[in-house]
Amino acid sequence: MLSGLVDPVGRRISYLRVSVTDRCDMRCTYCMSERMTFLPRADVLDFEELLRLCQVFVKQGVRKLRITGGEPLVRRDIGPFFETLGQWLHHPEQAGTLDELTLTTNGSRLALYAETLFRAGVRRVNVSLDTLDEERFAHITRRGKLTATLDGIRAAREAGLAVRVNAVAMAGVNDDEFDAMLAWCGKIGADLCLIETMPMGDTGEDRTARYLPLSDVRADLAQRWTLEPLMDRSAGPARYMRVAETGQRIGFITPMSHNFCSTCNRVRLSCTGQLYTCLGHEDGVDLRAILRSGGDDAALLAGIQSAIDRKPLRHDFMLGTHSGEVSGPVRHMSVTGG
Ligand code: SAM
Ligand code: SF4
């Protein structure tokens, strides 16, 4: 079926990222402030509401769902939520409407959930891990434990899940570790994806000073590793290369230095039911208001389409190079879902 959700420049929306909570057991320096105030629970959509919205998108041709947050695995009853979504998947015995169900997690509780996720039909997970050094990990995440995330990654691999390690590249923080991380990912059979720091929400940290253009990182890595260009884009913003020495892939997400907007097929549903059509813009449509005022699927669809009709041509993140000024949305990545 062709997607019913097409924006004015012809970009077909086939990928929905769903934030199921703004809460998290970590406070990564680039994502949250030390003392975050989380949303009152009543503001956050319950699972029934989330499922209802997801279903409207899937009926309109969305083929890929990524569950994120905050930390999705800290939300109670997240297991049954995945099991329900998994029933929509297309597989040999069942002509489902969804091609892929996946999640992004910090890994702290992945060891508890890896098997449940696999049983539900999840086959790939993105795990955020910016360093392999215990002290650095504690410093970056402010309260995370490296061993828990490593245990989570091991459990995921043992359960049969493919793992992509996501690392935010930060000058002076982890930029001396990319070789080690590439080698480690090769050893455990995981892809590595480096991400440029984006200015989302106030975190109490100066991200301008940490900004590292990944074109420089790639050129540096290419002096020691054989990086072969690949065409696969996996429906996401990452550009991949094969690392000949390990056989695994390295991906680069470069929203700051390169714009990936022309092929953007994604929209994001926040945990409060705001639909954002661009990570870099504030403009959203309040689907929760439609839901909670008794709106039917047609009303929800009209709301969704009105947001998609306004999907910006491109994001306009700016990192001031001289003034230290940062400009980007005031909302945190943990609300929108990364
Ligand atoms: N808690 C989960 C995790 O950390 O994987 C899922 C949510 S987190 C907001 C999703 C992704 O966004 C993570 O890979 C994280 O590294 C990334 N992220 C958060 N803030 C960012 C920022 N300011 N710039 C770039 N990436 C960011
Ligand atoms: Fe939590 Fe993920 Fe944000 Fe880190 S990046 S604070 S783990 S939501």
Cα of 197 from ligand 1 centre, angstroms: 9
Answer whether residue 116 is part of any domain. yes
pLDDT digits (tens, 9 = 90+) for 192-235: 999 998 876 677 777 677 888 899 999 999 999 999 999 766 55
Domain containing 224 equals: 15-336
Number of domains in the chain: 1
Kind of pairing between the strands at 191-196 and 227-229: unpaired
Q: What is the domain-level CATH number for residue 279?
A: 3.20.20.70
Which of the pair, 161 or 323, is modelled with greater confidence? 161
Answer whether residue 68 is part of any domain. yes
Q: Kindly tell me the sign of the dihedral angle through the C-alpha atoms of 52, 105, 27, 236.
A: negative
* CA atoms within a 13 Å half-sphere pointing along the CA-CB vector of 112: 14
Specify the residue for token string 């990928």.
15
Mutate to test the pocket of ligand 2, among 28, 30, 73, 142 (most ligand atoms within 8 A of CB): 28
Answer whether residue 49 is part of any domain. yes
pLDDT at 51 over 80: yes
pLDDT at position 157: 98
Mutate to test the pocket of ligand 1, among 31, 102, 105 (most ligand atoms within 8 A of CB): 31
Answer whether residue 3 is part of any domain. no
185 is in an annotated binding site: no
200 lines ligand 1 (CB under 6 A): yes
* Closest ligand, as measured to the CA of 194: 1
Contact 79, 20 (CB under 8 A): no
Give the three-class secondary structure for 235.
coil
Q: What is the pTM of this model?
A: 0.91
Cα of 6 from ligand 2 centre, angstroms: 31
Answer whether residue 55 is part of any domain. yes
Most confident of 14-23, 87-96, 272-281: 14-23
5 lines ligand 1 (CB under 6 A): no
Helices (H), 32-145: 47-59, 78-86, 110-120, 134-141
pLDDT digits (tens, 9 = 90+) for 70-119: 999 999 999 999 999 999 998 666 666 899 999 999 999 999 999 999 99
**Count of H-run helices and E-run strands, the chain:** 10, 14
